[in-house]
Amino acid sequence: MPLPRYSQISLDATPYYHCISRCVRRAFLCGKDSVTGNSFEHRRQWIEDKLLELSQIFCIDLCAYAVMSNHYHVVLHIHKEQALSLSTDDVICRWHQLFKGSLLSQRFLRNEALSKAELTALNNQVDTWRARLMDISWFMRCMNEAIARQSNEEDNCTGRFWEGRYKCQALLDESALAACMAYVDLNPIRAAISTAPETSDYTSIKKRITKSQTVTIPNHPNQQNKQLMSFVGNPRKEMPHGLPFRLTDYIESGRLDGANYER
């Protein structure tokens, strides 16, 4: 029997998780259907755009992703400290980018006076929304529901779009994190869709490489792509928030691994 998500995610063990969602239909999530000849390639952009959008709303960092023909991979980091530091206004504004919120939250943002009982009720709502903003299940729900609705509308049909629940794997140490990120970023090369990381469309590695080629200090966090979790260098005593590797080392290892897959 599948385990509930809360039993698979523990911030005491690790904030890093690898998630996979797969399309249930014969028709492709993306790519070209060899039977009908219909192309769904444009849906790759839908997925990439939605991932990048949600990573700016949730307190969840996007470490790596790859959009394949009938599934996609993401490596996520739960930024608990950021969630706990958000003000009431911040939580409500972020939540309203996802849902309508409540009558109380809408009144609060309009600066309308709330009674003591109403403020208590609003604070309880905010606590719930704050927890959801660092919840991978809510991240994946917002991600998959949006893509399913958009795809169903385009296909003029109803019903299930995704193959059950998303799969989730905890990454318990730095070696597991590095290996999993490389696995995700090199998926198109392994599947013979691309020949090099810098030409692997709809992957985080291509986005990182493209940005690194336009800056003078690619390893500096402030000069990396802001939509992805930054690389901050090797572990040290005063470790800032970010991935515990050097970006240039990661890119080079990806190129070497990609060349090995190509051979």
pLDDT tens digits along 196-227: 888 889 999 999 999 999 999 999 999 999 99
SS (H, E, C) the chain: CCCCHHHHCCCCCCCEEEEEEEECCCCCCCCECCCCCCECCCHHHHHHHHHHHHHHHCCEEEEEEEECCCEEEEEEEECHHHHHHCCHHHHHHHHHCCCCCCHHHHHHHCCCCCCHHHHHHHHHHHHHHHHHCCCHHHHHHHHHHHHHHHHHHHHCCCCCCECCCCEEEECCCHHHHHHHHHHHHCHHHHCCCCCCHHHCCCEHHHHHHHHHCCCCCCCCHHHCCCCCCCECCCCCCCCCCCECCCHHHHHHHHHHHHHHHHC
**CATH number 3.40.50.300 given to 13-81+134-262:** no
Q: Which residues contact 128 (CB under 8 A, 6 or more apart)?
A: none
For the stretch 114-121, contacts whose Cβ atoms lie closer than 8 Å and that sit 24 or more positions apart, written own/partner, are none
pTM over 0.85? The answer is yes
Answer whether residue 255 shows pLDDT above 80.
no
Answer whether residue 263 shows pLDDT above 70.
no
Kindly list the domain boundaries of the chain, sorted by start residue. 13-81+134-262, 87-131
What tokens were used for 174? 């730095």
Tell me: the pLDDT tens digits for 141-191? Answer: 999 999 888 888 887 788 888 887 899 999 999 999 999 999 999 999 998
Query: What does each C-alpha distance from 67 to 40, 64, 186, 193 come to in angstroms?
Result: 12, 11, 11, 11
Q: In the predicted model, what is the mean pLDDT of residues 228-256?
A: 87
Cβ contact 62:16 at 8 Å:
no
Cβ contact 162:24 at 8 Å:
yes
